[in-house]
Amino acid sequence: MIKLIDLLENKILVPRRSPEERSKNYIIATQKKIQQYIKDGGKGDLNLRNTPITTLPQGLKVKGDLDLSNSQITSLPQDLTVGGNLDLYNTKITSLPQDLTVGGSLYLYHTKITSLPQDLKVGGSLNLYGSKITSLPQGLKVGRFLDLTNTPISKKYSKEQIQQMVPGVKGEIII
């Protein structure tokens, strides 16, 4: 019987690419996926979950959902428009662009976000569960519920105080 150690010593099971090369190729493949999505007119969803991508191209318009959860994304372009949901769960995002548009829900749970841009409009729900959010902006509009569970805001203010701060929330405020 052949032992694994014998296979490795005899170089029978040698990886074709190094981990660094595989990582570099994965980034290139992800960038090509984004470029193809743009070339196809931004139709449908763009799933970049668990990818090593750190930035997105300027002018990106996603007609469906944009899933960046568990990715390495660190910033969003100034003119990003998402027609559906934007999922930034468990990313390194610390701020959002001033003119961000989200037609569906915005998921910022378990992010390092501490504040939101003025006049942010979210067509669906705004989920800030477990984020570092410390303030809510003037002019915030949320079409459904606002989830502030396990945030510094939920520990500092009552539900009634938050409702007075952000009258643009159409649904329930969850603390």
21-51: per-residue pLDDT in tens?
Answer: 888 888 899 999 999 999 999 999 999 999 9
- The fraction of the chain above a pLDDT of 90, given in percent, is 78
Whether residue 11 has pLDDT greater than 70: no
- The model carries a pTM of 0.86
Provide the pLDDT for residue 48: 97
| Residue 168 included in any domain | yes
| Residue 89 included in any domain | yes
Question: CB of 45 within 8 A of CB of 65?
Answer: yes
Q: Is 165 exposed, middle or buried (0-12, 13-18, 19+ CB in 10 A)?
A: middle
Number of domains in the chain: 1
Quick check: helix, strand or coil at residue 166? coil
| Residue 35 included in any domain | no
Q: Is 91 exposed, middle or buried (0-12, 13-18, 19+ CB in 10 A)?
A: buried
Dump pLDDT digits (tens) for 128-163: 999 999 999 989 999 999 999 999 999 999 999 999
Provide the pLDDT for residue 59: 87
Q: Average pLDDT, whole number, for the chain?
A: 90
| Residue 132 included in any domain | yes
| Residue 164 included in any domain | yes
Alpha carbons within 13 angstroms on the beta-carbon side of residue 147 total 16
Provide the pLDDT for residue 102: 97
User: Could you tell me the CATH number of the domain that includes residue 125?
Assistant: 3.80.10.10
Is pLDDT larger for residue 165 or for residue 15? 165
| Residue 131 included in any domain | yes
The residue range of the domain holding 93 is 44-174
| Residue 78 included in any domain | yes
Residue 9 pLDDT class (50, 70, 90 cuts): low
Question: CB of 118 within 8 A of CB of 139?
Answer: yes
| Residue 33 included in any domain | no
Through-space distance between the first and last CA atoms of the chain, rounded to whole angstroms: 62
Please tell me the distance from the alpha carbon of residue 146 to that of residue 168, in angstroms, as a whole number: 10
